[in-house]
Structures are given as C-alpha cells and as structure tokens.
Amino acid sequence: MTTAHGRSVTALEQVQESFNSFFSHQAFAQIARSPELKAEYLARLHWLESFAVGMLKHRAQNMPTRELQLKVARHAADEFKHAKWIGERLQELGYEPKTGVQDPYTAGVFENYPEIPWQQFFIQLYVAETRGSQDMEILKSHLHDDPSTCDLLDRLLADEHNHVRYLGEALSEEFDRDPDLLRQYYKTVWREKLSYLGAMTRIVSLYLSGNRDAIPATIAF
C-alpha cells in the first residue's frame, strides 16, 4: 500500500490503522443512527472548515512558489464552499452551526500554524485531511437512510481527495530532499493515530455505558 506522498505504509502502521478503523466504524455507526449526534458531527465539521479558510489564506501568502500559493488559495476557497454546504444541510436538519468547539482530538493539530515552516504545516494538513476523508467515507457507509447527507459527503470528498493528492505530491519532493522531514512526518502520524484511537474508543465506551449525552464533547473530526 502506497500513500499519496509516495511512501509505503509500514506493517506497524497497518496494524494501528486496523484498530482505528474498527473503533471508528463502531463510533460512526452510532453517530449515523442518532439525528442529534449526526448534527453534532456536521456542526463540528462546519466549524473546522470555517477555521481552515482563514488559516489557509494566511499561509498561502508565504508559500515558496507561485504554484503552491495558488493551490493553497484554491484549498481555502474549497473550504469556504464546504462550510456553506454544511451550514445549509444543518439548517435543513433543523440545527445551527457552532461558533466554537472544545475538542480534545483537534486541540493541538494546528498549534502554532502561523509560525511553523511550510513543510511542517503541510504535514499537519496532510494528516488531518487524510483522516477527515476517511471519517467521511466511514460515516457515509452507515447513512443508508439519509441520501441528502450522503450527497453532501460525496461533494466534500471530491475536493478532499484532491487536497490530499496535492499535499502528498508536494511532501514527496520535500521528503526526498530532507530525510529528517520524513521522520517529523512519522512522529505527527503516530501522535494523530493514538489521539484518534482514544477519541473513538471514548465514543464507543460512552455509547455502550448509556452515557450518550457526553458523546458530543468527545466527537472527533
């Protein structure tokens, strides 16, 4: 198995991801069955897409090439479009977007994003976009009775796959030039995988224990 950045997935990564996949399927199955939890997920996704617009606009100014500047600016435009679509779907479902969230999973994903080198920013973005795409695919697989939200996720995924691809291609070139950057990538990946597994297992545990009112506070993107 080869990633978008051209490096093969290690056996250890595959094992860890299989655990993540199992628990995320269990968690998103519960989210798909609950109108409230589904709206909570979409509201948090709306918040993240909205946050990403400003973040990407800021970083686009400091890309090393005109080509990357344009790609990051287009990425920002896509996220603005996504926030609009998600907001419209939330209103159709009778819910309102959130103005802010407290999320233990995403709290440190984009820390210090204005100051870090663009390569490290791309690593964080690539990891987050990859996970976000996987989450949407998993949720979509459990939404058999909600074609409108499935259509929304299909439209989002078409763009998200393009984001993962251009970020991976840019990182591939940088990894060839700087092996230490690849080590930074793996550190970021493992931190994300462990944090994600914790978030997913908390959702499943809360659901099984009957403490479902506490689930929104721990939903991960």
Domain count, the chain: 1
How many CA atoms are closer than 13 Å to the CA of 23, on its beta-carbon side? 23
Classify residue 12: in a domain, yes or no.
no
Looking up tokens 């090393």 gives 64
Q: What is the pLDDT of residues 103-162, one digit of tens each?
A: 555 545 666 788 899 999 999 999 999 989 999 999 999 999 999 999 999 999 999 999
Q: What local confidence, expressed as pLDDT, does residue 221 receive?
A: 47
CA within 13 Å, CB half, 40: 22
* pLDDT tens digits, 177-208: 998 999 999 888 888 888 888 878 887 887 77
- Tell me whether residue 56 is in a domain: yes
Gap between the Cα atoms of 84 and 151, Å rounded = 14
Inside any domain, residue 86: yes
Of the candidates 68, 122, 105, 65, which has an alpha carbon nearest to the alpha carbon of residue 216?
Answer: 105
Q: Is 94 among the domain residues?
A: yes
The maximal CA–CA distance of the chain, rounded, in angstroms, is 53
Residue 159 lies in a domain: yes
Contact between 44 and 101 under an 8 Å Cβ cutoff? The reply is yes
- Distance between CA atoms of residues 35 and 18, nearest Å: 27
Domain that holds residue 54: 33-218
H or E, element range at 82: helix 66-92
State the CATH number of the domain containing residue 214: 1.20.1260.10
Q: Bridge partners of 8?
A: 2
pLDDT digits (tens, 9 = 90+) for 13-70: 776 777 678 888 888 898 899 899 899 899 989 988 998 999 999 999 989 999 999 9
Q: Is residue 4 part of a domain?
A: no
197 domain residue, yes or no: yes
Residue 69 domain-assigned (yes or no): yes
Q: Mention every residue, 6+ apart, whose C-beta is less than 8 A from residue 194.
A: none
